Amino acid sequence: MSLEVFFVAIISSMLINNVVLMRFLGVCPFLGVSKKTESAIGMSAAVMFVMVVASFVTYLLYYYVLEPVGITYISTIAFILIIASLVQLVEMFIKKFSKKLYKGLGIYLPLIVTNCAILGVAEGNIAQGYATDYGVLSGLWVATTSAFGAALGFGLVMFLFSAIRERLDHTDVPPAWKGLPVSLVTAGIMAMAFLGLGGMV
């Protein structure tokens, strides 16, 4: 398997099929934790870790446990539990090592469990059929790379959006547009900008 496959997987999931702006998953933290760049970067890092590790573990669980035994019907429940376990670990780590970030993320930190972007990427890796195309073991690396690309894409749009929102805070926005309205319009314009990357790969 050539490096091209991994490169295409990263670029495709990061820019072309961006998890937030193209697939509209994970919009809750995108709008909720993007007021400050520092919090946005912290949230992105937490989501990136959970997304990549969850994709890796769920892929292994699906193809080495659930499918051979014939119990793929519990895949969604199993995936959610694995994501919840990872979030507990991340919360514990942040609580211990970054007090400021723990305060900044607030309720959004445990709510990573309900971030549909993570479950969407994990389920998407199974639905994409990487195991059929590349074999189960090679497919694992492609799926994990794709998840890493999706996580990078999430981090990229979070950072860009938080930077724009911080600048908007210091600009003379008409009163009726202040706050969420102008943020939603900004997100729409960002989505249109990302639409322009379609067909690149």
Partner 1 sequence: MDILIGVLVTAGIVCVYLITFLLNKNTHSPMEASDADPEVCGTCANYTCGVKQQHFTEEVRS
In the complex, least distance from residue 84 CB atom to partner 1, rounded to whole angstroms: 5
154 neighbors 50 (Cβ within 8 angstroms): no
The single residue listed with the structure tokens 């820019």 is 15
Query: Which of 106/188 has CB closer to partner 1?
Result: 106
- Tokens representing 79? 């995936």
Residues of this chain that interact with partner 1 (CB under 8 A) are: 35-36, 65-66, 69-71, 73-74, 77-78, 81-82, 84-86, 88-89, 91-92, 95-96, 99-100, 102-104, 106, 165-166, 169, 175-176, 178-179
101: tokens are 């970030």
Q: Which is nearer to partner 1, 100 or 198 (CB)?
A: 100
CA nearest neighbour of 125 among 142, 111, 104: 142
Q: How far is the CB of 175 from partner 1 (least distance, A)?
A: 4
Task: Show the CA angle centred on residue 161, arms to residues 156 and 166, nearest 5°.
Answer: 130
Q: How far apart are CB 129 and partner 1 at their closest, in Å? A: 23
Structure tokens at 118: 């993570």
Closest approach, Cβ 31 to partner 1, in A, equals: 13
Question: Between residues 81 and 189, which has the closer beta carbon with respect to partner 1?
Answer: 81
Question: With respect to partner 1, which residue has the nearer C-beta, 3 or 96?
Answer: 96
Please, are residues 144 and 55 in contact by the beta-carbon 8 Å criterion?
yes
